[in-house]
C-alpha cells in the first residue's frame, strides 16, 4: 500500500521538528529515512504509525487519508528501536499478542503464530521467554509480532541497532527477504548509511527535519545533491577541498592542488569559488593529475589499509590502498586522481 506524506509538519511546543515534508513510498517499496541523531526520523515514523498527532499536512495510505485515525485503525506493523518484548510472556504469546488484543479465537492465533514464526525462522523457540533468547532471536520475535496481522505497511525504527556486526548482516538480508516475499511497503529508520543503502529501494536523507535528497542508493552515491549528502555516504568518507575554478582547472593554492576539472565543467568561469570531493575510489595510480603531501595516518584494515594524505595546509585526502604496496608514515607521496570522476560543488555546497 502506497504511503504518502503531504506537507507533513510536526512541532513540539514551539519547536518545529519536521516541516512541510513530502514523501511517497510506492506499494511494495522499502524506503530508508537516513540522517543524524535528532533530525526527525523517529518523529516522522511515529506520525506515520499514528502515535503522534500531526500539526500540519496529511498522511495517506493508498487513497485513504489516515491523518486523523488512531494507530489501531491504521493496521501497521511497527518494530521499535528497543524492541520491548513482554518478558513474562513466552515467545508464542509475544508474537500472538496483537491478535489476542483483537480477541481472535485461540486456535486461529496458534496457527498464525506458527506460520509467522516459520517465516522468521524461530519455530523452535516458541516456548521460551525473551530472556532466554539471543539479541538476534529477540529481534526476530519483535519482527514476527509486527508481521502477524499481515500489515500492508511495516515501520522499522533502528531495528538492528542492538545487534553485533555479524548478526546485523544476517538480519539485514532477512528483513529485506521478508519484506519482498510479503510485498510489504516499508519505511526503515536508520543512521547507518550502509544499512540504508543495502536494504532499501530508495533512500531519503534528512537534515534538521527536511529531506535533502530522495533517490535510489546508487544514484544518490554517484550524484549526491550537495556536500551534506556526499559527506554522509561512503566509507572512508569523501574528502573535500575548497578552491576556485581557473581556466578549466580546480586550484587550491594553500593545499598545493591544481587538477583539471571534469570535462563537462571545463568552462566554469575563472575565479569562481568551488569545492571538490574526492572519494577513495577516484584515486588512480595511472593518472598524471596528482595531489601531493605526507602520509599522516595509516589504519590497517586487513587486505587493504586506509591512508591519510596530509596536504601542505593540513587538509586531508583519505584513500584505501592495497596493503601490499604500502607507503610508510611520514613519506612524501603523490596520488593520481581520476579527475573525470571528481564531484564539484558551488560555493553553497550544491553539486555542479
Ligand X SMILES: Nc1ncnc2c1ncn2[C@@H]1O[C@H](COP(=O)(O)OP(=O)(O)OP(=O)(O)O)[C@@H](O)[C@H]1O
Query: Of Mg ion, ligand X, none, which one does residue 319 interact with (CB within 5 to 8 Å by kind)?
Result: none
Nearer to Mg ion, 21 or 261 (CB): 21
- In angstroms, the CA 232 to CA 305 distance is 21
| Minimum CB–partner distance for residue 326 and ligand X (Å) | 37
- In angstroms, the CA 344 to CA 262 distance is 8
Residue whose C-beta lies closest to Mg ion:
42
Q: Looking at the DSSP assignment, which residues form a beta bridge with residue 198?
A: none
39 binds ligand X (CB under 6 A): yes
- In angstroms, the CA 128 to CA 303 distance is 42
Nearer to ligand X, 41 or 244 (CB): 41
Query: Of ligand X, Mg ion, none, which one does residue 70 interact with (CB within 5 to 8 Å by kind)?
Result: none
> What is the grid cell recorded at 293?
603531501
For ligand X, the binding residue among 4, 31, 43, 252 (CB under 6 A) is 43
Phi then psi for 147, rounded to 5 degrees?
-95, -15
- In angstroms, the CA 201 to CA 112 distance is 29
- In angstroms, the CA 5 to CA 242 distance is 37
Query: Of Mg ion, ligand X, none, which one does residue 50 interact with (CB within 5 to 8 Å by kind)?
Result: none
For ligand X, the binding residue among 1, 5, 17, 23 (CB under 6 A) is 17
| Minimum CB–partner distance for residue 210 and ligand X (Å) | 12
41 binds ligand X (CB under 6 A): yes
Question: What DSSP line would sit under 209-222, residue for residue?
Answer: TEEEEEE-HHHHHH
- Give the count of residues interacting with ligand X (CB under 6 A): 11
Window 18-37: residues binding ligand X (CB under 6 A): 35, 37
Residue 7 region, left (φ>0) first, then alpha (ψ -120 to 50), else beta?
Answer: left
Give me the torsion for CA of 153, 156, 157, 160, rounded to 10°.
180
- In angstroms, the CA 333 to CA 347 distance is 29
Query: Of Mg ion, ligand X, none, which one does residue 12 interact with (CB within 5 to 8 Å by kind)?
Result: ligand X
For ligand X, the binding residue among 8, 30, 40, 59 (CB under 6 A) is 40
- In angstroms, the CA 187 to CA 30 distance is 6
| Minimum CB–partner distance for residue 196 and ligand X (Å) | 12
Binding site for Mg ion (CB under 5 A): 42
12 binds ligand X (CB under 6 A): yes
- 3-class DSSP state of 223: coil
Nearer to Mg ion, 90 or 190 (CB): 190
Q: Looking at the DSSP assignment, which residues form a beta bridge with residue 259?
A: 250
Query: Of ligand X, Mg ion, none, which one does residue 17 interact with (CB within 5 to 8 Å by kind)?
Result: ligand X
Query: Of ligand X, Mg ion, none, which one does residue 126 interact with (CB within 5 to 8 Å by kind)?
Result: none
Strands, DSSP E only, in 13-79? 15-25, 30-35, 56-61, 64-65, 76-79
Window 153-192: residues binding ligand X (CB under 6 A): 191
Cis (ω within 30 of 0) for the bond into 74?
Answer: no
Nearer to Mg ion, 43 or 226 (CB): 43
Nearer to ligand X, 35 or 136 (CB): 35
Give the Cβ contact number of residue 297 at 10 Å. 12
| Minimum CB–partner distance for residue 151 and ligand X (Å) | 21
Window 190-209: residues binding ligand X (CB under 6 A): 191
Nearer to Mg ion, 16 or 351 (CB): 16
Residues that bind ligand X (CB under 6 A): 12, 17, 35, 37-43, 191
Amino acid at each position: 500500500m502506497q504511503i504518502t506524506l503531504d506537507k507533513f509538519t510536526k512541532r513540539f511546543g514551539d519547536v518545529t521538528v519536521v516541516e512541510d515534508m513530502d514523501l511517497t513510498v510506492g506499494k511494495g517499496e522499502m524506503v530508508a529515512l537516513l540522517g543524524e541523531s535528532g533530525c526527525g526520523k523517529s518523529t516522522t515514523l511515529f506520525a506515520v504509525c499514528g502515535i503522534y498527532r500531526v500539526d500540519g499536512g496529511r498522511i495517506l495510505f493508498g487513497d485513504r487519508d489516515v491523518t486523523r485515525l488512531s494507530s489501531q485503525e491504521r493496521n501497521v506493523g511497527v518494530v521499535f528501536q528497543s524492541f520491548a518484548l513482554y518478558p513474562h510472556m513466552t515467545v508464542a504469546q509475544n508474537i500472538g499478542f496483537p491478535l489476542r488484543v483483537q480477541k481472535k479465537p485461540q486456535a486461529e492465533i496458534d496457527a498464525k503464530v506458527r506460520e509467522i514464526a516459520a517465516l522468521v525462522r524461530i519455530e523452535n523457540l516458541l516456548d521460551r521467554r525473551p530472556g532466554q533468547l539471543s539479541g538476534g532471536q529477540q529481534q526476530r520475535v519483535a519482527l514476527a509480532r509486527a508481521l502477524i496481522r499481515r500489515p500492508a505497511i511495516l515501520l522499522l525504527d533502528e531495528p538492528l541497532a542492538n545487534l553485533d556486526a555479524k548478526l546485523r548482516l544476517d538480519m539485514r538480508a532477512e528483513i529485506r527477504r521478508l519484506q519482498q516475499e510479503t510485498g510489504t511497503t516499508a519505511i526503515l529508520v536508520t543512521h547507518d548509511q550502509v544499512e540504508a543503502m543495502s536494504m532499501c529501494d530508495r533512500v531519503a536523507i534528512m537534515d534538521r527535519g527536511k529531506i535533502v535528497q530522495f533517490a535510489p542508493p546508487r544514484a544518490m552515491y554517484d550524484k549526491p545533491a550537495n556536500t551534506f549528502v556526499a559527506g554522509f555516504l561512503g566509507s572512508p568518507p569523501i574528502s573535500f577541498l575548497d578552491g576556485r575554478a581557473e581556466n578549466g582547472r580546480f586550484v587550491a593554492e594553500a593545499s598545493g592542488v591544481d587538477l583539471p576539472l571534469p570535462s563537462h565543467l571545463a568552462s566554469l568561469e575563472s575565479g569562481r569559488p568551488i569545492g571538490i570531493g574526492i572519494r577513495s575510489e577516484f584515486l588512480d595510480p595511472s593518472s598524471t593529475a596528482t595531489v601531493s603531501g605526507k602520509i599522516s595516518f595509516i589504519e590497517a584494515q586487513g587486505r587493504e589499509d586506509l591512508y591519510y594524505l596530509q596536504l601542505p595546509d593540513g587538509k586531508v585526502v583519505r584513500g584505501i590502498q592495497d596493503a601490499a604496496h604500502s607507503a610508510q608514515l611520514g613519506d612524501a607521496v603523490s596520488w593520481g586522481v581520476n579527475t573525470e570522476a571528481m564531484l564539484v560543488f558551488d560555493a553553497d555546497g550544491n553539486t555542479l
